[in-house]
Amino acid sequence: MPEQRDRDTVGPAPVFKREQHGETLIVVPLGHSMQFAAGQVEFQTKDVLESFDELGIKNVVVDLRSVSLLDSIVIGSIVAFAKSALKRGGQAILCNVSAGVQDTLNTVRLDKLMAQCATREEALATTQ
């Protein structure tokens, strides 16, 4: 079983839930930016990006199970996570994408930057 480490971002309300599985970081956005205080998404995005170096992360899996819509600020965070993984020679994968969110991903062409898997388990297997 892979090493698992839960790490929620500090702050009044977490924007992203994180779990580490070896060199892979699973990031679960917990809502859209309108649900959080101004600047909170950006602050916590920076915190997640810093954890790539701190934890020796190579791959990122963004699990969208808790999101029913994506706005530009959260999309920007997801793009930053993907670019960070790709810059390290790793993989960037989306999983648990609802039909409504899929339409948004297609519109902003995020599906061209990141691979997609149906489940978290499938995404983790892809990073092995």
Report the Cα–Cα distance between both ends of the chain, in Å, rounded: 12
Residue ranges for the chain with pLDDT beneath 50? 1-11
Domain carrying residue 53: 4-126
Per-residue confidence (pLDDT) for residue 12, from 0 to 100:
62
- Beta-carbon contacts of residue 30 (< 8 Å; ≥ 6 apart): 13, 14, 15, 16, 17, 66, 67
Q: Tell me the three-class secondary structure of the chain, residue by residue.
A: CCCEEEEECCCCCCCEEEEEECCEEEEEECCCHHHCCCCHHHHHHHHHHHHHHHHCCCEEEEECCCCCCCCHHHHHHHHHHHHHHHHCCCCEEEECCCHHHHHHHHHCCHHHHCEEECCHHHHHHHCC
Convert the pLDDT of each residue in 34-69 to its tens digit: 888 878 999 999 999 999 999 999 999 999 999 988
CA atoms within 13 A on the CB side of 127: 31
Q: How many domains is the chain built from?
A: 1
CATH of residue 113's domain is: 3.30.750.24
Per-residue confidence (pLDDT) for residue 9, from 0 to 100:
41
Quote the CA–CA distance of 74 and 29 in Å, as a whole number.
8
pTM beyond 0.85, yes or no:
yes
Per-residue confidence (pLDDT) for residue 22, from 0 to 100:
96
Per-residue confidence (pLDDT) for residue 11, from 0 to 100:
46
